[in-house]
Amino acid sequence: MPRIAFVTFGILREQADHPAVQGFFERSPGVLGAAGASPGQLDHYRGGDDGYRVSARDCPFGAYATGRFVAPELAGREEQTLSLWADLESVFAFAYGTMHAEALRGRTAWFLRPAWPTYVAWWVDDDHWPSWAEANDRLEHLHDHGASAVAFDFRAPFDREGRPTSLDRPRIAALRV
């Protein structure tokens, strides 16, 4: 059964050790733990993990990579996640659930104002593991071409067959309980 691949992306205003972005790092373990415990999340890797950047051995998502939105002078300040979910409603319920929604309110203090999408979703086959390179390609595709079956967001989602759809709001509400 197809799954949703989901990427988040942002560039910190300051280096990770700067006091201005510590609120982000203080919340990250709790938010990532909540994501892992969310109904519908199948797997998750965070790009900012230095150990992960060093070795992709035994990792189904492959070697860590960034895309064209990371200018050389901003390298190392990007924060990305790559995850697999059972469906789009599960991702939405987590993203706008209590803990993550609270963290989202701080994003303007911690991250540069984006000239790029901050997330992208797309359907993958059950036996396919998206790579970081694929994730960045999808983020760039959404930026360059807008939402389509190739790459989409919550405002313009697509179903497994590649048709425009809408989110199942009653299901999202049930997932948040």
CATH number of the domain that residue 115 is part of: 3.30.70.100
Average pLDDT, the chain: 88
Q: Tens digits of per-residue pLDDT, 100-117?
A: 777 788 899 999 999 999
Round to whole Å and give the CA distance between 132 and 52: 12
The pLDDT score that the predictor gives to residue 58 is 60
Domain membership of residue 118 as a residue range = 3-176
Q: Is it the case that residue 119 has pLDDT exceeding 80?
A: yes
DSSP codes, 99-135: HHHHHHTTHHHHBPPPSS-SEEEEEE-TT----HHHH
Domain count, the chain: 1
Q: Is it the case that residue 136 has pLDDT exceeding 70?
A: yes
pLDDT band for position 65 (cuts 50, 70, 90): confident
pTM for this predicted structure:
0.89
Find tokens 């998750």 and name the residue: 44
Q: Is the dihedral of CA 63, 64, 69, 73 positive or negative?
A: negative
DSSP conformation class of 152: B
Share of the chain above pLDDT 70, in %: 92
pLDDT band for position 56 (cuts 50, 70, 90): low
Segment of 25-29, 39-43, 137-141 carrying the highest mean pLDDT: 137-141
Cα dist. 83→4, 47, 163 in Å?
A: 8, 11, 22
* Structural contact between residues 49 and 35, judged by C-beta atoms closer than 8 angstroms: no
